[in-house]
Amino acid sequence: MKKVIVVGGGPKSYIPSLQRWAEEDVEWIGADQGAEVLVEAGISPDAAIGDFDSVSERSYQKIKEQALELHTYPDEKDETDLELAIKEALNRKAKHIVLLGVTGGRMDHSQANIQLLYPLMEKGIKAVIVDHQNQIEMAASGSHKIEEDPQYPYLSFLPVTLEVKELTLNGFYYPLSRAHLPFGSTLCISNRLVEDTGTFSFESGILLVIRSTDSMEDQEKGSSH
Protein backbone atom coordinates (compact mmCIF):
# COMPACT_ATOMS: atom_id res chain seq x y z
CA MET A 1 0.00 0.00 0.00
CA LYS A 2 1.66 3.20 -1.19
CA LYS A 3 1.95 5.73 1.65
CA VAL A 4 2.33 9.47 1.20
CA ILE A 5 2.92 11.84 4.09
CA VAL A 6 1.60 15.36 3.56
CA VAL A 7 2.92 18.07 5.86
CA GLY A 8 0.80 21.20 6.12
CA GLY A 9 1.56 24.67 7.38
CA GLY A 10 -0.01 24.39 10.84
CA PRO A 11 1.86 25.30 14.04
CA LYS A 12 5.15 23.43 14.12
CA SER A 13 4.70 22.64 17.81
CA TYR A 14 1.78 20.35 16.88
CA ILE A 15 3.81 18.23 14.45
CA PRO A 16 5.19 14.97 15.87
CA SER A 17 8.75 13.90 15.18
CA LEU A 18 9.17 12.96 11.53
CA GLN A 19 11.66 10.28 12.60
CA ARG A 20 8.63 8.13 13.36
CA TRP A 21 8.42 7.38 9.64
CA ALA A 22 12.16 7.41 8.91
CA GLU A 23 12.41 3.67 8.29
CA GLU A 24 9.29 3.43 6.14
CA ASP A 25 9.05 3.56 2.36
CA VAL A 26 7.07 6.78 1.99
CA GLU A 27 6.86 9.84 -0.23
CA TRP A 28 6.85 13.31 1.33
CA ILE A 29 4.79 16.27 0.15
CA GLY A 30 5.11 19.68 1.77
CA ALA A 31 2.23 22.14 1.53
CA ASP A 32 3.46 25.72 1.86
CA GLN A 33 5.24 25.99 5.24
CA GLY A 34 5.08 22.21 5.50
CA ALA A 35 7.82 22.08 2.86
CA GLU A 36 9.96 24.23 5.15
CA VAL A 37 9.35 21.75 7.99
CA LEU A 38 10.62 18.92 5.80
CA VAL A 39 13.72 20.79 4.69
CA GLU A 40 14.52 21.77 8.29
CA ALA A 41 14.25 18.08 9.23
CA GLY A 42 16.74 17.12 6.53
CA ILE A 43 14.10 15.58 4.25
CA SER A 44 14.00 16.50 0.57
CA PRO A 45 10.31 16.81 -0.37
CA ASP A 46 9.21 14.64 -3.26
CA ALA A 47 6.93 17.59 -4.02
CA ALA A 48 6.51 21.08 -2.56
CA ILE A 49 3.18 22.74 -3.27
CA GLY A 50 1.52 26.07 -2.54
CA ASP A 51 1.75 29.83 -2.77
CA PHE A 52 4.54 29.84 -0.14
CA ASP A 53 3.28 33.05 1.42
CA SER A 54 4.08 31.69 4.88
CA VAL A 55 7.83 31.21 4.37
CA SER A 56 10.69 33.67 4.09
CA GLU A 57 12.49 34.24 0.82
CA ARG A 58 15.53 32.42 2.24
CA SER A 59 13.43 29.37 3.16
CA TYR A 60 11.74 29.43 -0.22
CA GLN A 61 15.13 29.29 -1.95
CA LYS A 62 16.09 26.25 0.14
CA ILE A 63 12.79 24.58 -0.76
CA LYS A 64 13.44 25.25 -4.46
CA GLU A 65 16.89 23.72 -4.16
CA GLN A 66 15.84 20.58 -2.31
CA ALA A 67 12.36 19.71 -3.54
CA LEU A 68 12.33 17.10 -6.30
CA GLU A 69 9.23 18.82 -7.72
CA LEU A 70 7.99 22.35 -7.09
CA HIS A 71 4.40 23.42 -7.84
CA THR A 72 3.66 27.09 -7.18
CA TYR A 73 0.20 28.65 -7.13
CA PRO A 74 -1.13 32.21 -6.76
CA ASP A 75 -2.26 33.52 -3.38
CA GLU A 76 -5.87 33.83 -4.52
CA LYS A 77 -7.24 30.41 -5.48
CA ASP A 78 -10.25 28.20 -4.81
CA GLU A 79 -8.32 25.43 -3.03
CA THR A 80 -6.09 25.56 0.02
CA ASP A 81 -2.46 24.55 -0.28
CA LEU A 82 -3.27 21.41 1.72
CA GLU A 83 -6.05 20.37 -0.65
CA LEU A 84 -3.70 20.83 -3.59
CA ALA A 85 -1.11 18.68 -1.80
CA ILE A 86 -3.69 15.95 -1.22
CA LYS A 87 -4.59 16.02 -4.92
CA GLU A 88 -0.90 15.55 -5.71
CA ALA A 89 -0.80 12.56 -3.34
CA LEU A 90 -3.78 11.06 -5.19
CA ASN A 91 -2.06 11.70 -8.53
CA ARG A 92 0.83 9.66 -7.15
CA LYS A 93 -1.61 6.75 -6.54
CA ALA A 94 -1.43 6.98 -2.75
CA LYS A 95 -3.59 4.45 -0.91
CA HIS A 96 -2.57 5.62 2.57
CA ILE A 97 -2.20 9.33 3.33
CA VAL A 98 -0.86 10.68 6.63
CA LEU A 99 -1.60 14.35 7.27
CA LEU A 100 0.72 16.30 9.60
CA GLY A 101 0.70 19.99 10.46
CA VAL A 102 -3.02 20.36 9.79
CA THR A 103 -4.33 20.99 13.34
CA GLY A 104 -3.82 23.76 15.88
CA GLY A 105 -3.89 27.47 15.30
CA ARG A 106 -6.93 28.76 13.42
CA MET A 107 -10.06 26.74 14.11
CA ASP A 108 -11.49 27.27 10.60
CA HIS A 109 -8.38 25.68 9.11
CA SER A 110 -8.41 22.75 11.55
CA GLN A 111 -12.11 22.03 10.97
CA ALA A 112 -11.79 22.28 7.19
CA ASN A 113 -8.77 19.96 7.25
CA ILE A 114 -10.65 17.36 9.29
CA GLN A 115 -13.48 17.53 6.76
CA LEU A 116 -10.97 16.69 4.01
CA LEU A 117 -10.94 13.16 5.45
CA TYR A 118 -14.45 12.62 4.08
CA PRO A 119 -13.72 12.66 0.30
CA LEU A 120 -10.67 10.47 0.93
CA MET A 121 -12.81 7.96 2.83
CA GLU A 122 -15.29 8.01 -0.07
CA LYS A 123 -12.45 7.13 -2.45
CA GLY A 124 -11.39 4.19 -0.28
CA ILE A 125 -8.16 5.91 0.76
CA LYS A 126 -6.86 5.23 4.27
CA ALA A 127 -6.30 8.72 5.65
CA VAL A 128 -5.25 9.81 9.13
CA ILE A 129 -4.45 13.14 10.74
CA VAL A 130 -1.62 12.90 13.27
CA ASP A 131 -0.40 15.52 15.72
CA HIS A 132 1.56 15.38 18.98
CA GLN A 133 -1.54 14.36 20.96
CA ASN A 134 -4.03 12.87 18.49
CA GLN A 135 -4.70 10.55 15.59
CA ILE A 136 -7.93 11.27 13.72
CA GLU A 137 -9.66 9.08 11.14
CA MET A 138 -13.13 8.93 9.61
CA ALA A 139 -15.09 5.67 9.38
CA ALA A 140 -18.10 4.69 7.31
CA SER A 141 -20.77 2.26 8.48
CA GLY A 142 -19.77 -1.39 8.75
CA SER A 143 -17.47 -3.41 10.98
CA HIS A 144 -13.94 -2.25 11.83
CA LYS A 145 -11.00 -3.68 13.77
CA ILE A 146 -8.87 -1.42 15.91
CA GLU A 147 -5.59 -2.30 17.61
CA GLU A 148 -4.20 -1.02 20.88
CA ASP A 149 -1.65 1.79 20.56
CA PRO A 150 0.08 2.68 23.86
CA GLN A 151 1.15 6.01 22.38
CA TYR A 152 -2.51 7.06 22.03
CA PRO A 153 -4.39 5.14 24.76
CA TYR A 154 -7.73 6.99 24.70
CA LEU A 155 -10.35 6.35 22.03
CA SER A 156 -13.33 8.57 21.27
CA PHE A 157 -16.09 8.15 18.69
CA LEU A 158 -17.88 11.29 17.50
CA PRO A 159 -20.78 11.30 15.04
CA VAL A 160 -20.15 13.37 11.94
CA THR A 161 -23.68 12.79 10.62
CA LEU A 162 -26.89 13.77 12.47
CA GLU A 163 -26.92 10.29 13.98
CA VAL A 164 -25.06 7.01 14.06
CA LYS A 165 -27.25 3.95 14.46
CA GLU A 166 -26.61 0.59 16.14
CA LEU A 167 -23.09 1.35 17.42
CA THR A 168 -21.46 -1.69 19.04
CA LEU A 169 -18.08 -1.65 20.79
CA ASN A 170 -16.32 -4.91 21.73
CA GLY A 171 -13.00 -5.20 23.56
CA PHE A 172 -13.41 -1.77 25.21
CA TYR A 173 -13.47 -0.72 28.86
CA TYR A 174 -16.90 0.77 28.18
CA PRO A 175 -18.59 -1.64 25.75
CA LEU A 176 -21.72 -0.76 23.81
CA SER A 177 -24.41 -2.82 22.14
CA ARG A 178 -26.50 -1.38 19.30
CA ALA A 179 -26.46 2.13 20.76
CA HIS A 180 -27.92 5.23 19.16
CA LEU A 181 -25.42 8.09 18.92
CA PRO A 182 -26.95 11.46 17.91
CA PHE A 183 -24.91 14.43 16.75
CA GLY A 184 -23.64 16.27 19.82
CA SER A 185 -23.52 13.19 22.05
CA THR A 186 -20.56 12.76 24.39
CA LEU A 187 -21.39 9.13 25.18
CA CYS A 188 -18.29 7.79 23.45
CA ILE A 189 -15.64 10.18 24.73
CA SER A 190 -12.43 8.86 26.33
CA ASN A 191 -12.88 5.10 26.08
CA ARG A 192 -9.99 2.65 25.88
CA LEU A 193 -9.24 -0.88 24.76
CA VAL A 194 -8.93 -3.70 27.29
CA GLU A 195 -7.78 -6.21 24.67
CA ASP A 196 -5.01 -6.05 22.08
CA THR A 197 -7.63 -5.75 19.34
CA GLY A 198 -11.18 -4.46 19.57
CA THR A 199 -14.00 -3.99 17.10
CA PHE A 200 -16.56 -1.29 16.47
CA SER A 201 -19.48 -1.54 14.11
CA PHE A 202 -22.51 0.54 13.22
CA GLU A 203 -25.41 0.32 10.82
CA SER A 204 -25.52 3.84 9.38
CA GLY A 205 -23.84 7.22 9.64
CA ILE A 206 -20.21 8.36 9.76
CA LEU A 207 -17.90 8.40 12.77
CA LEU A 208 -14.84 10.41 13.59
CA VAL A 209 -12.45 8.06 15.40
CA ILE A 210 -10.00 9.94 17.60
CA ARG A 211 -7.08 8.33 19.42
CA SER A 212 -5.47 10.67 21.95
CA THR A 213 -3.08 11.03 24.83
CA ASP A 214 -2.75 13.56 27.62
CA SER A 215 -0.30 16.39 27.13
CA MET A 216 3.07 16.07 28.85
CA GLU A 217 1.93 18.78 31.30
CA ASP A 218 -1.20 16.79 32.19
CA GLN A 219 0.79 13.58 32.58
CA GLU A 220 3.22 15.33 34.94
CA LYS A 221 0.33 16.75 37.00
CA GLY A 222 -1.27 13.31 37.18
CA SER A 223 1.94 11.64 38.34
CA SER A 224 2.40 14.24 41.10
CA HIS A 225 -1.00 13.52 42.73
What pLDDT score was predicted for residue 160? 95
Please, which residues bridge with residue 210 across strands? 136, 156
* Cα–Cα distance for residue pair 86/82, rounded to 1 Å: 6
- 73 & 110 share domain: yes
89 found inside a domain: yes
Q: Hey, which bits of 8-100 come out as E strands?
A: 26-31, 47-50, 70-72, 96-100
Apex 219 CA angle, 215 and 220, nearest 5: 115
CATH of the domain at 153: 3.40.50.10240
Domain boundary among 109, 132, 155: 132
Domain of residue 109: give its range. 3-132
- 21 & 72 share domain: yes
Express as a percent the part of the chain with pLDDT over 90. Answer: 88
Asked if residue 216 has pLDDT above 70, the reply is no
- 47 & 10 share domain: yes
- 141 & 126 share domain: no
Place 8 in a pLDDT band, splitting at 50, 70 and 90.
Answer: very high
Asked if residue 99 has pLDDT above 80, the reply is yes
87 found inside a domain: yes
- 191 & 105 share domain: no
pLDDT in tens, 124-154: 999 999 999 999 999 999 999 999 999 999 9
What pLDDT score was predicted for residue 167? 98
Asked if residue 18 has pLDDT above 70, the reply is yes
- 115 & 157 share domain: no
The rounded Cα 206 to chain-centroid distance in angstroms is: 16
- 154 & 54 share domain: no
Express as a percent the part of the chain with pLDDT over 70. Answer: 95
Asked if residue 121 has pLDDT above 60, the reply is yes
Question: How many structural domains compose the chain?
Answer: 2
* Cα–Cα distance for residue pair 69/188, rounded to 1 Å: 43
Average of pLDDT values for 26-33?
97
Place 75 in a pLDDT band, splitting at 50, 70 and 90.
Answer: confident
222 found inside a domain: no
Place 218 in a pLDDT band, splitting at 50, 70 and 90.
Answer: very low
223 found inside a domain: no
178 found inside a domain: yes
191 found inside a domain: yes
Q: What is the DSSP letter of 200?
A: E
- 110 & 175 share domain: no
Report strand pairing: 47-50 vs 26-31.
Answer: parallel
- 24 & 95 share domain: yes
3-state secondary structure 100-152: ECCCCCCHHHHHHHHHCHHHHHHCCCEEEEECCCEEEEEEEEEEEEEECCCCC
- 111 & 47 share domain: yes
175 found inside a domain: yes
Domain boundary among 81, 106, 132: 132
Domain boundary among 110, 132, 154: 132
What pLDDT score was predicted for residue 222? 43
Average pLDDT of the residues of the chain: 93
190 found inside a domain: yes
* Cα–Cα distance for residue pair 223/202, rounded to 1 Å: 37
| Cβ(75)–Cβ(106) below 8 Å | no
What pLDDT score was predicted for residue 179? 97
- 180 & 193 share domain: yes
The answer to whether the predicted template modeling score (pTM) of the entire model surpasses 0.75 is yes
- 121 & 46 share domain: yes
Encoded amino acid at 39, one letter: V
| Cβ(98)–Cβ(6) below 8 Å | yes
* Cα–Cα distance for residue pair 33/31, rounded to 1 Å: 6
What pLDDT score was predicted for residue 225? 35
Asked if residue 220 has pLDDT above 50, the reply is no
pLDDT in tens, 150-204: 999 999 999 999 999 999 999 999 999 999 999 999 999 999 999 999 999 999 9
